[in-house]
Structure 1
Amino acid sequence: MSTKPAAPVSVPDAITELPHPWESRDLAFANGSVLRVVRFEGAFPWHQRDQDELYLCWDGSFRVEFEGGDSVVLRAGDIFVVPKGVRHRPVADEPAYGLMIERPEPKQYGSA
């Protein structure tokens, strides 16, 4: 049984469809995971997940803050993985865009 490949998805085009802070769009599904594009702006609420959370900064810059005061800054092209169970929050002082690979279940407010 063969499946026809999906059409290519333009990340820049998907970004233009995200006018609000923390809005996301699912771009592709593979191997039980989803690739999402997210608009980062301001501070997202503190949270932790029961899975690793992969961030790839596509455009701009944002940081991932951890309880206890540590943080990691990501700039365009940087990848960072928050291990499961670690309490954190992404923060962007100006609009930034990132890609995230995760299981499809975690939908955040703003998800389309």
Structure 2
Amino acid sequence: MSTISIPDVSAELPGPWQPRELAVANDAVVRLARLHGEFPWHHHDEDELFLCWDGTFRLELRGRDAVTLRRGELFVVPRGLEHRPVADEPAHALMIERPETEQYGN
């Protein structure tokens, strides 16, 4: 058991859309990713929580208004809702989801 420095991990990420698993607690995993550009549209069979660590990004939601997240803000994408994160400038997000959640959806 040791502490995890989110700033250190974010500095070591190899590039956008390559999440790193930080911790597992109960039935959830915390992942950190650098976002830059447009991620493909996808959906999950479970909820997905996004927490903006730094920068700004938006979550485009199929059939709904996009949600813009700034540092310290979070949003839960409900299961089954097609979505994609989009970051015009580099940003970092923490995602809390099930360990089996596939990055590109179900």
Q: Please report the TM-score for the alignment, with normalisation by the length of structure 1.
A: 0.88
Q: Does 1:36 align with 2:31?
A: yes
When the two structures are superposed, what TM-score results if normalisation uses the length of structure 2? 0.93
> Is 1:59 matched up with 2:54?
yes
Q: For 1:56 and 1:82, how far apart are their aligned partners in 2? A: 11
CA offsets, 1:54-76, max 9 Å, x none? 00000000000012362000000
1:104 and 2:105 matched = no
Distance in 2 of aligned mates of 1:48 and 1:70: 16
Segments of 5+ residues of structure 2 without an aligned counterpart are none
Structure 1, unpaired ranges of 5+: 1-5
Percentage of identical aligned residues = 60
The count of corresponding residues between Structure 1 and Structure 2 is 104
Separation in 1 of the partners of 2:79 and 2:13?
Answer: 27
Larger Rg: 1
1:15-94 correspondence runs (5 A): 15-68=10-63, 70-94=65-89
Partner of 2:4: 9
Taking the aligned partners of 2:83 and 2:25, their CA distance within structure 1 comes to: 26
2-structure distance, mates of 1:108, 1:67: 17
2:9 maps to amino acid: A
Q: CA RMSD in A?
A: 1.2
